[in-house]
Amino acid sequence: MPRTATPLAAAGTGVLFEPLALGHLTLRNRLVMAPMGTCLDAGGHITDETIAYYVRRARGGVGTITVEGCLVSADTVGPEPKISGPEYLPGLRRLVDALRPYDVTVGVQLMHPGRQVVAGPSVAPSPVPLNSKAPVPHVLDQAEIAAIVEDYARAAELAAEAGFAFVEVHGAHGYLPSNFLSPLDNQRDDEYGGDLEGRARFSREVARAIVAVGGDRVPLVWRINGDDATPGGLGVEDAVAVSRSLEADGVAAFSVSAGTWHTLHVTLAPMHVPRGHLVSLAAAVKAAVDVPVMAVGRLDDPELAARVVASGQADLICLGRGLIAEPDWPDKVREGRLGEVRPCIACNACVDLVGRGEHARCAVNPEAGRELSWVLKPTPFPRRVMVVGSGPAGMEAARIARLRGHQVSIWERDEVLGGKLEVAGLAPSKREVLRFRDFQARRLVELGVEPHLGVDVDAGVVATEAPDVVLVATGAEPLIPPIPGLGAAHVHDALALLRGDVAVGPGDRVVVVGGSATGCETAEVVRAAGAEVTIVELRGGIGFGIEAITRRQLLKTLRADGVVTLTRAKVVAVERDHVLYEDAARDVHVIEADHVALALGWRPRGSALADTLDDAAEVVVLGDASAPADFVHAINAGADAGLAL
């Protein structure tokens, strides 16, 4: 339904809701949904799932939506939608038409991945592979370059025909225009290489071709890297110079990002990277051009976003992951409901799933990616629901059940809500998890969920409460294999070291058995305390189960900090001051150890309670209590349990 007027914005954030001209367009506020892949398309065609996903964000009050990158060349293969021919127009038109009632300006990003393809032709300005495992890309000749320029122009024509108000070229992140701009990767000696003017020629030809077909009717936005964040790559001074040239070619606005495949921790910053880490790059471009500039990079804090605009560092704020986590971010901020804004914790679960070709999901918002089927309707038969366990699955089940009108209580044996979220947030690289824990706990109280803390629930407690439904979300317990010596006093569950229950300091020798997420985070914490740390892992690597971008950076940090990693190593015994392990050749080695931390996985413990309950109440075991999994699965399991009541 069409949007209506709403109350004034929260104090200090009003600048985010002022209109702005982009070419002939008037954007009704300064908030732009950034283009982020979803894998919700089917064979390159926009689907009903895609449309529902974007409609949900439009309903939340964002002023501008840039639809995710669409492939401009017919021979390019990838998980993205396509805009390479008229056969893709019906879906694109349906998307634009579906968004029309929401007073939102809708554009589409035009994309050519170049050498960063999932399948199909890998092309580049020079024969420089993406990495040591990637194929050497085909080097584009000048005729092929001209054909791709024409692909962009044709895609812009199709975008206008579909009804998009503007187009954006993805000229950043190592995709084809960015690859041409890189002095590291563009080693050509013709007019498309060499100095900055030559390396910028491809981008400028694409811009001029699009402006020639779109004119003032369909403004062109250019997403550019302010910095490749790679030694030898494009830097901010060259990015500023290229932006000036593109402005002269008719570009109507810039979206300033950074990073390439090699520096994804810059492009899609994990939670340990400070918010607003790319704003200075946007400010540098803005100082050099006379058209609007968009800032990106963890700007989902309303006050920070407002300061960026008010200070003149950028004209517009791009929200990507923040709108996946909280589609109503704009409306809630404008209405002063800041406490209701679900925080994006930059866990990159959404990015990781899409990177593997799976549908987008969110670790804090179970609606994300399944908007088409998501129905949160009041229950006609309110029931008394007892949720046992307050980890991510338990809290989400309680929230959804309460929103639907059930009478809900939540029970936790510790003194705070959160379950394993409390421990997960103790690693220096994962502090943001506690923001979500605190948000969920606060919202449960505000919604009227009755908390019971410090209670170890058993059959007697359940019988006394006499609920209609018991949702068992008691999580998982550490897996302890039959290794001799694990019962010794200096052997601990890794969580005890994460919590600080075991004092570890400089000079202590700590062996972490298991290189999972918990093992790596334990190593990070105890190494920061000054201990000498060795991780022993049976598999060929460590950090499995950690989102790929975070994992890459965490492993670099552990190596830089001197953490020793032994892989394909099997612990066979723990003695008083050392650990014995076998290597791949089954030779036995000794590691001296003052403390041993076990991080060998988890086993569900839901049946321990469920099996003791009688038939007086319906019993549902969910989340890790049923089968240990990741954060996304836990949240979705909790939501599904609440929806099913």
Of residues 154, 206, 156, the one with CA closest to residue 178: 206
What's the average model confidence in pLDDT over 192-197? 98
CATH fold group of domain 384-478+603-644: Rossmann fold (3.40.50)
pLDDT of residue 606: 66
Question: Which is it for strands 293-295 and 316-319: parallel, antiparallel or unpaired?
Answer: parallel
* Per-residue pLDDT tens digits for 550-569: 888 889 999 999 999 999 99
Has residue 5 got a pLDDT over 60?
no
* pLDDT confidence of residue 376: 93
Q: Is the pLDDT of residue 575 over 70?
A: yes
Two tokens at 340?
Answer: 């209701």
Give the tens place of pLDDT for each residue, 341-379: 999 999 998 988 898 889 999 999 999 999 999 999 999
Could you please report the per-residue DSSP string of 381-397?
A: S--EEEEE--SHHHHHH
Sheet containing 509-513: order of strands: 491-493, 595-598, 509-513, 532-536, 564-566
Mean pLDDT of the 40-48 span: 96
pLDDT at 387 over 80: yes
Arithmetic mean of pLDDT over the chain: 93
Q: What is the CATH number of domain 14-355?
A: 3.20.20.70
Instruction: List pLDDT tens digits, range 18-32.
Output: 999 999 999 999 999
The 10s digit of each residue's pLDDT in 604-642 is 776 788 888 888 789 999 877 677 778 888 999 999 999
* Residue 152 designated active-site: no
Write down the pTM of the prediction.
0.93
491-600: CATH, from 3.50.50.60, 1.10.10.10, 3.20.20.70, 2.102.10.10:
3.50.50.60
Which residues are CB-contacts of 436 (< 8 A; sequence separation ≥ 6)? 342, 343, 345, 364, 421
Mean pLDDT of all residues in 434-451: 95
**How sure is the predictor about 252, in pLDDT bands with cuts at 50, 70 and 90?**
very high
Give the model confidence (pLDDT) of 217-226 as tens digits: 999 999 999 9
- CB neighbours of residue 10 within 10 Å: 18
CA distance 176 to 112: 6
Mean pLDDT of 228-239: 96
CA angle 38, 42, 48 (to 5 degrees): 75
Q: Is it the case that residue 586 has pLDDT exceeding 80?
A: yes
CA atoms within 13 A on the CB side of 305: 27
Angle between helices 142-162 and 89-99 (to 10 degrees): 40
Per-residue pLDDT, averaged over 532-545, amounts to 93
pLDDT tens per residue across span 304-321: 999 999 999 999 999 999
Radius of gyration of the chain (CA): 27
pLDDT at 6 over 70: no
Nearest to 371 by CA among 91, 92, 85, 50: 50
Contact predicate 39/354, CB 8 Å: yes
The catalytically annotated residue of 53, 152, 175, 192 is: 175
Comparing 543 with 176, the larger pLDDT belongs to 176
Core vs surface per residue 599-616: b (16+ CB within 10 A) or e: bbbbebbbeebbeebeee
Confirm if 24 and 219 have CB atoms less than 8 A apart. Answer: yes
Q: Give me the residue label for tokens 């609606």.
A: 367
Query: Nearest to residue 53, comparing CAs of 72, 76, 33, 75?
Result: 33
- Show Cβ contacts of residue 575 under 8 Å, excluding neighbours closer than 6 positions: 485
Residue 402's pLDDT is: 98
The C-alpha atoms of residue 358 and residue 636 are separated, in whole angstroms, by: 15
Q: How many residues does the chain have?
A: 645
The residue with tokens 């866990």 is 347
Query: What is 388-448 written as a DSSP string?
Result: E--SHHHHHHHHHHHHTT-EEEEEESSSSTTTHHHHHTTSGGGTHHHHHHHHHHHHHHHHT
For residue 3, name the pLDDT band (cuts at 50, 70, 90): very low
Report domain extents, the chain: 14-355, 384-478+603-644, 491-600
Helices 201-214 and 236-248 meet at what angle, rounded to 10? Answer: 30
Are 330 and 62 in contact by the 8 Å Cβ rule? The answer is yes
Q: Is the model more confident about 140 or about 352?
A: 140
Name the percent of the chain lying above pLDDT 70: 98
**pLDDT for residue 1 is more than 80:** no
pLDDT of 477 above 70: yes
